Amino acid sequence: MSEKQKMDHSRRQLLKGGAALTLAGIGGAATLPVMAGTQGKVQTKFDEIVDIIVIGSGFAGMSAALKARESGDSVMVIDKMPVFGGNSTINGGAMAVAGSPLQKKEGIEDSVDTMVADMLEAGRGMNDVEMLKLVCNGTAESCEWLTEHGVKWKPFVQHFGGHSLPRVLQTVESSGAGIIRPLIKAAKKAGIDMRNQTKLESFVKNDEGRVIGIKVRDGFYFPRNKTGKVRLFGASKGVIMATGGFGRDIEYRQMQQPKLTKELDSTNHAGATSEALKQMMLIGANPIHLDQIQLGPWASPDEKGFGTASQFNTIATYPSGIVVDSRTGERFFNELADRKARADAIMTRRDEQGNPVYPIGFTNAEGAKKAQTLAWGLKYKVIQQAETLDELAQLYGIPAKALKEQVSRWNKAVSAGKDREFGRPMQKAMKLDQGPWYGVRMWPKVHYCMGGVRVNTHSQVLHLITDKPIEGLFAAGEATGGIHGASRLGACAVAEGVVTGRNAGQMCTQSKRVELAQA
């Protein structure tokens, strides 16, 4: 453009829309450092400018940042917490993959369609099928991409609840840290600008309504709201929201689900709150399924948070043991059902006053051999060891005779390859024929938000009214809504985070760059 053309262009812009600078967010009375042009044209001046800003540093955020950086764009990752990784570092590190080499090695025939069907069934048909297909379709490639970045997997696949067959890979650490650490290392090596204690306050949009940056609090001390210095960061290609769920935001989750009181614990880290979601909604993001909040059915009331039992029950008790009502010694649900079915079943166990009667899950040494948290659970007495079933019954106040009869019935079902009582899939079922036994008291905890903002398959956040993209705004992972419907299957959060994160990163790099002004 010549100087003359530029001036004409500027005049046209001015005639078209006026000079409004829009800083979305509550109140709207923010004062911004602006530069008045010769004819009243106003332009935001940013403290720092990059191509792409990623908010959140969990699976979705780190995957988005790396993928975007691979294309040569400058990328900044911000996280409000003092440590990176969010929930992802305390996650179990299990990833559902449709058609992995490990499945082939074990002779398990899987497909993208099968995984989609499993997730649709768990989601009670409420799933966003296009996004669901995108996720399942991307699992094999994304898993390989993680491996290339140094993630190490256990050499076998597992059968998690609600999946019709074994398809779950898990990091050797049995933790999401086994994914997050290599990704952060790769990000630093690639020159991605990683900023902790930096919190999104609101979005900055230009005259056309495109998101061109964010207002942040730099040096933020969670959860003290007004801490940190207010600064403006520009994103000439776009902002990617990888801001997770709100499972630890007790006030907000109770607005949607009044029963999820503060008495009900959560597996989430303290930063799993709702501010970022709300900022998106204030600029027109379309919220989907906000009241679909998942309870993890493998948690124990005998420890705080995710703890040792969640992993133990996922890897040992559920696939290789059984769960009984402590009053009757009898099973009462399919231990490989989806999470919602299992959590709902467990929470029916109450006394006449409505207080929980914690069911007992148990397996034996053979079933527990792959569970790395066994020693810790025993140390903190969350898991208890018993040499005989009589001793186990005594430990938990279960009628011993009934318990032994239940174990005998279970062993017959394993021999028959069929669970006539509760329809549990028996491909990897194991007889419970000798001790030592390991027991856990069980009660669900708030674990995952199926709800979030509506996105398209380009990971663009869609506007509530137009259902068209809010330009410059992308979202991935738990921050989005609809992929899982009413209930997410286990190991599908890692899958979703990595696949949609990489997708968002790629799509954002393809955005048209807008010129921004430095302060």
Q: Binding string to its own copies for residues 379 to 418, with x set by CB under 8 A, is what?
A: ----------------------------------------
> Cα-flanking dihedrals φ and ψ of residue 88, to 5°?
-60, -30
26 three-class SS = coil
Closest distance of CB 517 from its own copies, Å: 21
- Shortest Cβ distance from residue 393 to its own copies (Å)? 33
Nearer to its own copies, 28 or 82 (CB): 28
Single residue of 6, 12, 18, 512 touching its own copies by CB under 8 A: 18
Residues with catalytic function:
339
For residue 39, state whether it binds its own copies (rule: CB under 8 A). Answer: no
CB of 518 to its own copies, least distance (A): 25
Total binding residues toward its own copies, as defined by CB under 8 A: 39
Binders of its own copies among residues 53 to 92 (CB under 8 A) are: none
Please answer whether residues 260 and 271 qualify as being in contact, where contact means their C-beta atoms are separated by less than 8 angstroms.
no
Measured from the CB atom, the residue of 288 and 393 that comes closer to its own copies is: 288
Distances (CA, A) of 278 to 128, 197, 241: 21, 19, 12
Task: Quickly list H helices, 229-302.
Answer: 250-256, 275-282
Instruction: Choose between 155 and 258: whose C-beta lies nearer to its own copies.
Output: 258
Q: Which stretch binds its own copies (CB under 8 A): 276-284, 356-364, 422-430, 431-439?
A: 276-284
Q: Are strands 34-36 and 322-324 parallel, antiparallel or unpaired?
A: unpaired
Length of the chain: 519
Per DSSP, the residues of 204-220 read EE-TTS-EEEEEEEET-
State yes or no: residue 126 binds its own copies (CB under 8 A).
yes
| Interface residue with its own copies, options 223, 284, 305, 399 (CB under 8 A) | 284
The residue range among 161-169, 282-290, 397-405, 426-434 that interacts with its own copies, by the rule CB under 8 A, is 282-290
The answer to whether 209 contacts its own copies (rule: CB under 8 A) is yes
Residue 15 contacts its own copies per CB under 8 A: no
Tell me the pairing of strands 229-241 and 287-288. unpaired
Q: How far is the CB of 31 from its own copies (least distance, A)?
A: 8
Nearer to its own copies, 23 or 68 (CB): 23
Query: Quick check: 30 binds its own copies (CB under 8 A)?
Result: no
Alpha-carbon gap, residue 230 to 227, rounded angstroms: 9
Identify the bridge partners of residue 312 per DSSP, sorted by sequence position: none
287 touching its own copies, by CB under 8 A: yes
Binder of its own copies out of 353, 465, 515, 518 (CB under 8 A):
465
Rg (Cα) of the chain, in Å, rounded? 25
Q: How would you write 220-276 as a 3-class SS string?
A: CCCCCCCCCEEEEEEEEEEEEECCCCCCCCHHHHHHHCCCCCCCCCECCCCCCCCHH
Distance between CA atoms of residues 477 and 475, nearest Å = 7
Q: How many CA atoms lie within 13 A of 288 on its CB side?
A: 23
Site for its own copies contains 480 (CB under 8 A): no
Phi-psi region of 251 (alpha: psi -120 to 50; beta: other; left: phi over 0): alpha
Q: Does 456 bind its own copies (CB under 8 A)?
A: no
Those residues whose C-beta lies under 8 Å from the C-beta of residue 123, and which sit 6 or more positions away, are 132, 450, 484, 485, 486, 487, 488
Residues in Cβ contact with 382 at an 8 Å cutoff, skipping those fewer than 6 apart: 300, 302, 303, 307, 308, 309, 440
Q: Within 435-454, which residues bind its own copies (CB under 8 A)?
A: 454
Tokens standing for residue 460: 């663009």
Q: Is 257 a residue that touches its own copies (CB under 8 A)? A: yes
Question: What SS3 class is residue 274?
Answer: coil
DSSP-based three-state secondary structure for 517? strand
Question: Which member of 278, 327, 370, 404 binds its own copies (CB under 8 A)?
Answer: 278
Query: Could you say whether residue 290 binds its own copies (CB under 8 A)?
Result: yes
Q: Report d(CA 195, CA 281) in Å as an integer.
A: 24
Query: Which of 80, 289, 340, 342 touches its own copies (CB under 8 A)?
Result: 289
Which residue from 26, 35, 36, 517 is in contact with its own copies, where contact means CB under 8 A?
Answer: 26
- Is residue 487 involved in binding its own copies (CB under 8 A)? no
Contact 168, 159 (CB under 8 A): yes
Q: Which stretch binds its own copies (CB under 8 A): 2-10, 66-74, 126-134, 378-386?
A: 126-134
Residues at the contact surface with its own copies, assessed by CB under 8 A: 17-18, 20, 22, 26-29, 125-129, 209, 251, 255-259, 275, 278, 281-282, 284, 286-292, 454, 463-467, 482
